[in-house]
Amino acid sequence: MNRAPLPVTPTLHVSRWYNTPKPIALDALRGRVVAIHAFQMLCPGCVTHGLPQAVRLREAFPEDQLTVIGLHTVFEHHAVMGPEALEAFIHEYRLAFPIGVDEADSHSPVPKTMAAWGLRGTPSLVLLDQEGHVQLNHFGRIDDMALGAIVGALVERPFKALAAEPHALEERDEVGCGGDACAV
C-alpha cells in the first residue's frame, strides 16, 4: 500500500503528557534520533513486543543521541483506556520515557496523529533522523537486531549530512488484532 510521505518533523497532536514536565515538540529534538512508539495498552502486540522494545531502545542508546517517546493512540475500546487507566498502566509497566496521548478526533474513532501520519495500527514505530526526516514508519512487530542496526546507523550519521530516503520494510495488510499487532 503506498502512502504519502510524512512531512519533515511531523506534528504530534497530543492532549496530555506523562513522564515529562512540559509538552514535547519534535522540532526541539533536532540533532538526535527520535523513536516514536505508537501503542494501545490493550493491544497484545504492544504489551508483549512494542513497549518492551521501546524500553530496550531507551536503555541501549544515550539520551543525547536517541529520544524515545510513547504515543498512546486509541482507536478501539475508548471507554476503558482513559487517563486513570493509562496512568496505572505506565506505573505498573514502569515506563519512564515521555508518553503523549494522541488527541481524539470528534469525527472519527482514529485519533489525530494516527490519522495524519497514516499509521495503520498498533504497535507502530516511527523513526526520525537528526534533521527530523522520517526514516522508518513501521506497523507491527520489528526484529530487535534489525531495529538496533537502523537506529545505530542513524545515530552514527553526521548531523546535516543525512539522506531523506526512508528505510523499506515489509508491509502487511492485516485487519483486527493478532498476537503481533492491532490494525485499524
Q: What is the mean pLDDT of residues 5-16?
A: 78
Provide the mean pLDDT of the chain: 86
- In angstroms, the CA 77 to CA 42 distance is 8
Burial 20-31 (b: 16+ CB within 10 A, else e): eeeebebeebee
166 domain-assigned? yes
Residue 21 has pLDDT above 90, yes or no: yes
Question: Is residue 33 in a domain?
Answer: no
Pick the residue with more confidence: 2 or 157? Answer: 157
pTM for the full model? 0.82
Alpha carbon 117 to its chain centroid, in Å, reads 11
pLDDT the model gives residue 88 = 96
Q: State mean pLDDT over 55-63.
A: 95
Whether the Cβ atoms of residue 46 and residue 75 lie closer than 8 Å to each other: no
Number of domain units in the chain: 1
- CATH (domain of 94): 3.40.30.10
Residue-wise pLDDT for 102-142, tens only, equals: 999 999 999 999 999 999 999 999 999 999 989 999 999 99
How much is the average pLDDT of 48-73?
A: 96
- For residue 43, the enclosing domain spans 39-123+131-183
Residue 179's pLDDT band, with cuts at 50, 70 and 90, is: low
